[in-house]
Amino acid sequence: MEWQEELMDFDEFLRLERGLTENSVRAYHTDIEKLVSYLSLDGRALIGPEELTCKDLQGFVRWLADIQIKPRTQARILSGIKSFYKNLIIKEKIDEDPTEQFQTPKIERKLPTVLSVEEIRSLEDSFDTGRVDGVRNRAIIETLYSCGLRVSELTELRLSQMNFEVGCVVIEGKGRKERIVPIGERARDYIREYVDGLRQTQKIEPGNEDYVFINRSGTKLSRIMIFNIIKEAASKVGITKVVSPHTLRHSFATHLVDGGANLRAVQEMLGHESIVTTEIYTHLDDSYLRSTMMEHHPYAKKEE
């Protein structure tokens, strides 16, 4: 069994079965090639995928640490290797999975930055709604927060995906998986004000008519532009936290969990493949409660 042959097969599996983008496929491919490079350096260049052992993986992780690959990146690389071997098992090319007994290095999960409802409202109110971009930017903030979208999902958001009457939007997330997300009345009002109002005065380039959010050139917004819009608005209203589009997604999920929302429902709305990813927001809630107590409880203040 040859590594390159199996890698090409794995690439096709990722494209066709999992629906990953070319960038994601390339990232997985590169991670497996790192393992092949390590085996070559360790004098095991001639072994095939079926001959890899748990001991080889342990040496590989030590090598990654030696070349200063961070634990989080190590975990991602090993996740890709596990997927590679899972594909070999599914296709019955091997009988035993060497990654099955291997423990992925534990990494510290940092709690994400979250904005309060008041801070989100201050971002929305910072824009001049007498301008096309002001109305648009206010709608962008509320849509990210109201629907918990990734920035790529926002830039690709189309009018044909939105059903204002039912109050939902169809989102194409990672791996081209579709999910239905409710959209709040406030977000609907802001989007309608933009789309039915000042957006009509813009010249839109052919092929971009269906995109919800358009730039001055008449084409869909870029990820970088969304980042800049939010960063500048946060600076303008005096928010000192490091704020990005993902901060609004984190805020959406945290506020839902704080309000008692079912974790499975939050998982579905965020488009998380595993509920383990969504569970971070329960830890964030615990951390928030403790920090609030330490800040406001009179006895806690005295102890400090």
CA distance 190 to 29: 42
- Indicate the average pLDDT of the chain: 86
pLDDT over 70 (residue 281): yes
Q: Spell out the CATH class of 117-295.
A: mainly alpha
Q: At what angle do helices 245-258 and 117-125 cross, to 10 degrees?
A: 140
Instruction: Work out the number of other CB atoms within 10 angstroms of the CB of residue 246.
Output: 16
Sorted by where each begins, the domain ranges of the chain are 3-90, 117-295
Query: For 176-212, how does the pLDDT look when each residue is reduced to its tens digit (9 = 90+)?
Result: 788 999 998 999 999 999 999 888 888 999 999 999 9
Catalytic position from the list 38, 85, 211, 281: 281
pLDDT attached to residue 304? 43
Catalytic position from the list 174, 179, 186, 231: 174
Of 103 and 229, which is predicted with more confidence?
A: 229
Weakest-pLDDT range from 85-89, 100-104, 140-144, 215-219: 100-104
- The architecture that CATH gives domain 3-90 is Orthogonal Bundle (1.10)
| Average pLDDT rounded to a whole number, residues 40-58 | 84
Catalytic (active site) residue 246: yes
CA distance 111 to 283: 8
Of 65 and 291, which is predicted with more confidence?
A: 65
pLDDT over 70 (residue 109): no
Catalytic (active site) residue 18: no
Query: For 24-46, how does the pLDDT look when each residue is reduced to its tens digit (9 = 90+)?
Result: 899 999 999 999 999 888 777 67
pLDDT over 60 (residue 224): yes
Catalytic position from the list 199, 249, 250, 255: 249
Of 229 and 56, which is predicted with more confidence?
A: 229
Catalytic (active site) residue 272: yes
Catalytic position from the list 138, 220, 255, 272: 272
How far is residue 134 CA from its own chain's centroid?
Answer: 26
> What angle is formed at CA 72 by the lines to CA 114 and CA 39, rounded to 5 degrees?
165
Catalytic (active site) residue 150: yes
pLDDT over 80 (residue 69): yes
Q: Which of 81, 64, 84 is nearest to 73 (CA)?
A: 64
